[in-house]
A and B are shown apart, each in its own frame.
Chain A
């Protein structure tokens, strides 16, 4: 069969072009990577009816179904309508009209998250819950953003290599009277984290400058002298990316911010992106957008109308460390600026 397909249009619907002419892979969003197991049979049906019978656990936690022929796309889009309604509208509260045309945009990518405190003993936050709240803020938008959420600074979800990375951190609190000076927390902090604890006169002293908020001290404390402040705190990293040219680790932008701040910042992402790209959404990593206008402009725009909580800390500047696959990659002729 000969195909004449506008593949950009199809991609916008979350169908990725295959090396086999006329075949596509549907990327089904699973915000935060957790949904009811009942959907497995739904995915199975799509794969076996219209795909090649296989599915891929997408690296961004989509359920990806390859081998869908172009001519079936309309049928598949009709079939996934209730799924989009259930997940996007009912579960995440996304403000969108769901019709028979499938996903409206691929812009804001599926939000990735580790399993978080629904399961993980190290986690400080419910990553699934946060992913669903964020989905409501960033989807559907044509502006690209890759957003990863980790439940603790171990960062299993790789917040450090996403446009915006969010890490759940805990403000630990110390009960002097409950502490028996056993040094277990000191050892745990030295082993897992940043060596900020020490013992003085049988009790613990903390150099809170560099506590990463992992909560290892809480996990190990036998008496419950260390506990988590019940309020949830987050660290936001920016500008991380993978890629062929200049992959780099994201850098810390905000520390010890609340959920309100996280959501407030993300509300401004689209406005910021539109500003940098003159209202023409393109597939460009967030880090490049920040680079184009500079960190200060980014900071100004992204924090607009965001009320920072008193504990919050904001990066004064960001020192990127890129892996330049071609040396002096950023040094360009005047004509290409």
Chain B
């Protein structure tokens, strides 16, 4: 069912929804961007529909809403502990198709990986319903969702299209039908992007021998001088889920405090450092290799169905050194093609 809703009415409906829901959307933080006089767009609670930045891609992904950057897990004293609490309200997230598909990857990592569910993720995830936001035609310059097959989704409760004075809404979830009862009915279902300016070819890595050769490719070395290991690419990624856990003590005797987790980045130098100083991926190139293969090889190897990367392109937009992940994937594809060709020529000989 579709409705045409005025901005004013939409805000009244949001007010109504806010009784039960916290509503999150990409919001503009003026002049808070990396560079002077640039804005930052990231997810935050909204109070009106005008707060939603719908015509630009957000710098950061919505993962922060249910997987906060800093999250207290429990609090402890010498003798007791107490689990952290969360807000009672349910959660609505304005999200694009790639991000909704991205949440499915996060679900896999947090809930279906190794037989244990991550309760801190689960307790927030269970509260979430999505409001799908249409993308502009073709998406944005750096999007490659079509190549990753994540340009479409039907996992949403409401879908919206922002028009100048109105918002078109599709309702898929009966829970919300009542709210829109008085609105003008229209034919509306969201349209999905079917082609992006950026396209990637995913290399097929079908043998361990090939994988070993990929490990040694020269292309990774080029990132040693280009990548500054800042971790901006993983911070914005909807599907990056790594965190580190630490105990923070409040008092001088060090016996009262909290256990918290904070996001971590495989692109940082210290990501693989073990007690004793042993480190597995010492160079930026090696870390880039790991990230690339994680996003377009090993996740799928383990969980079948789909690659981890959804092609949201945020990592490209955010890299201060202008390293494109899409270009990296395509470079790898070309290298793999060469390796395979060399292999067949060898066989013939």
Interface of A with B (CB < 8 Å)?
A: 117, 121, 123-126, 151, 168, 170, 176-182, 184, 201-202, 215, 218-220, 222-224, 227-228, 230
Instruction: Give the nearest-CB partner of A177 in chain B.
Output: B70
Q: B40 contacts A224, CB within 8 Å?
A: yes
Q: B32 contacts A177, CB within 8 Å?
A: no
Q: A224 contacts B248, CB within 8 Å?
A: no
Q: A215 contacts B36, CB within 8 Å?
A: yes
| B46 interfacial by beta-carbon distance below 8 Å | no
Least distance between A42 CB and chain B CB atoms (Å): 30
Closest 7 CB pairs of A and B: A230-B31, A117-B36, A227-B32, A222-B231, A222-B235, A222-B232, A177-B70
Q: A202 contacts B262, CB within 8 Å?
A: yes
CA distance A223 to B40 in the complex (A): 11
The stretch that binds A, out of B208-216, B263-271, B294-302, B341-349, is B263-271
Least distance between B254 CB and chain A CB atoms (Å): 11
Residues of B within 8 A of A124 (CB): 36
CA distance A38 to B32 in the complex (A): 34
Q: A228 contacts B32, CB within 8 Å?
A: yes
Residues of B within 8 A of A222 (CB): 230-232, 234-235, 265
| B34 interfacial by beta-carbon distance below 8 Å | yes
Q: A202-B248, A224-B60 are in contact. Are A180 and B263 (CB under 8 A)?
A: yes
Q: List 9 A-B contacts (CB under 8 A).
A: A123-B35, A124-B36, A182-B265, A202-B246, A202-B248, A223-B69, A227-B32, A227-B33, A230-B32
Residues of B within 8 A of A224 (CB): 32, 34, 40, 42, 59-60, 235
| B74 interfacial by beta-carbon distance below 8 Å | no
Least distance between B246 CB and chain A CB atoms (Å): 5
Residues of A within 8 A of B70 (CB): 176-180
| B30 interfacial by beta-carbon distance below 8 Å | yes
Residues of B within 8 A of A126 (CB): 37
Q: A201 contacts B248, CB within 8 Å?
A: yes
Residues of B within 8 A of A178 (CB): 69-70
| B320 interfacial by beta-carbon distance below 8 Å | yes
| B68 interfacial by beta-carbon distance below 8 Å | yes
Q: A202-B246, A230-B31 are in contact. Are A125 and B36 (CB under 8 A)?
A: yes
Contact indicator per residue, chain B 248-284, by CB within 8 Å of chain A (1) or not (0): 1100000000001011110010000000000000000
Residues of A within 8 A of B320 (CB): 219-220
Residues of A within 8 A of B30 (CB): 230
Contact indicator per residue, chain B 34-74, by CB within 8 Å of chain A (1) or not (0): 11110010100000000000000001100000001110000
Instruction: Give the nearest-CB partner of B42 in chain A.
Output: A224
Q: B262 contacts A170, CB within 8 Å?
A: no
Instruction: Give the nearest-CB partner of B267 in chain A.
Output: A222
Residues of A within 8 A of B60 (CB): 223-224
Q: A184 contacts B31, CB within 8 Å?
A: no
Residues of A within 8 A of B33 (CB): 227
Q: Tell me which of B29, B36, B235 contacts A170 (CB under 8 A).
A: B36
Q: Tell me which of A123, A180, A215, A230 contacts B69 (CB under 8 A).
A: A180
Residues of A within 8 A of B231 (CB): 180, 182, 184, 222
Residues of A within 8 A of B29 (CB): 227
Q: A228 contacts B36, CB within 8 Å?
A: yes
Residues of B within 8 A of A219 (CB): 34-35, 320
Given contacts A125-B36, A176-B70, A201-B246, 7 further A-B contacts (CB under 8 A): A117-B36, A179-B70, A180-B264, A182-B268, A223-B69, A224-B34, A224-B59
Instruction: Give the nearest-CB partner of A223 in chain B.
Output: B235
Instruction: Give the nearest-CB partner of A215 in chain B.
Output: B36
CA distance A220 to B34 in the complex (A): 8
CA distance A181 to B262 in the complex (A): 8
Q: A180 contacts B36, CB within 8 Å?
A: no
CA distance A215 to B36 in the complex (A): 9
Residues of B within 8 A of A218 (CB): 34
Residues of A within 8 A of B34 (CB): 218-219, 224
Q: A177 contacts B230, CB within 8 Å?
A: no
CA distance A226 to B29 in the complex (A): 13
Instruction: Give the nearest-CB partner of B231 in chain A.
Output: A222
Instruction: Give the nearest-CB partner of B36 in chain A.
Output: A117
CA distance A256 to B325 in the complex (A): 40
Q: B263 contacts A184, CB within 8 Å?
A: no
Least distance between B91 CB and chain A CB atoms (Å): 17
Least distance between B272 CB and chain A CB atoms (Å): 14
CA distance A70 to B320 in the complex (A): 53
CA distance A179 to B32 in the complex (A): 15
Among A151, A201, A222, A227, residue most surrounded by chain B Cβ atoms (within 10 Å): A222
CA distance A223 to B267 in the complex (A): 13
Least distance between B241 CB and chain A CB atoms (Å): 13
Among B232, B260, B264, residue most surrounded by chain A Cβ atoms (within 10 Å): B232
CA distance A168 to B302 in the complex (A): 51
Instruction: Give the nearest-CB partner of B271 in chain A.
Output: A182
CA distance A124 to B264 in the complex (A): 29
CA distance A125 to B264 in the complex (A): 32
Least distance between A113 CB and chain B CB atoms (Å): 14
Least distance between A168 CB and chain B CB atoms (Å): 8
Least distance between B197 CB and chain A CB atoms (Å): 25
CA distance A107 to B234 in the complex (A): 55
CA distance A219 to B36 in the complex (A): 9
Q: A177 contacts B68, CB within 8 Å?
A: yes
Residues of A within 8 A of B35 (CB): 117, 121, 123, 219
Least distance between B31 CB and chain A CB atoms (Å): 4
Residues of A within 8 A of B235 (CB): 180, 222-224
Residues of A within 8 A of B230 (CB): 184, 220, 222
CA distance A220 to B321 in the complex (A): 11
